[in-house]
Structure 1
Amino acid sequence: MTHNKQSFQAGQAAGRAEEKSNVIVEKVKDAAAGAGAGAQTTGQKISEAAGGAVNFVKEKTGMNK
């Protein structure tokens, strides 16, 4: 009977460990998705700023005509 109890407890511990690892994996996925969205926004802002700088230079040098 002791062996069955130990097996049961080991199964419970394994289940808890798996659940904790699933929670951690979800948190990592969420963090990665957030970082990706932030990087995309930053890239878009840089692209817009560069485009504005190009237009500014064209206007000042007369190349925009």
Structure 2
Amino acid sequence: MRIKYDETDDILHIEFTREPIVKGVSHGWNINVGYSQKGIAEITILDAKAAGYWPLENINDLLPRAA
């Protein structure tokens, strides 16, 4: 799992796997989920800090579940 935050553009990108993306689905105007053949591969959130998704307050709770 890899988490990257671009402060300049306020974009949060969470990558669960490097498998190829076969389908992308938008959930609202600012959240996009990329799916691989096996399930969710990545999540991209635009205006992440402005929308309250960054910083991740509960990162220690999320990491064990993602592994």
Same fold (TM over 0.5): no
The structure having more radius of gyration, on CA atoms, is 1
Q: Between Structure 1 and Structure 2, which shows a larger proportion of strand residues?
A: 2
TM range (shorter): under 0.3
TM-score between the two structures when normalised by the length of structure 2: 0.19
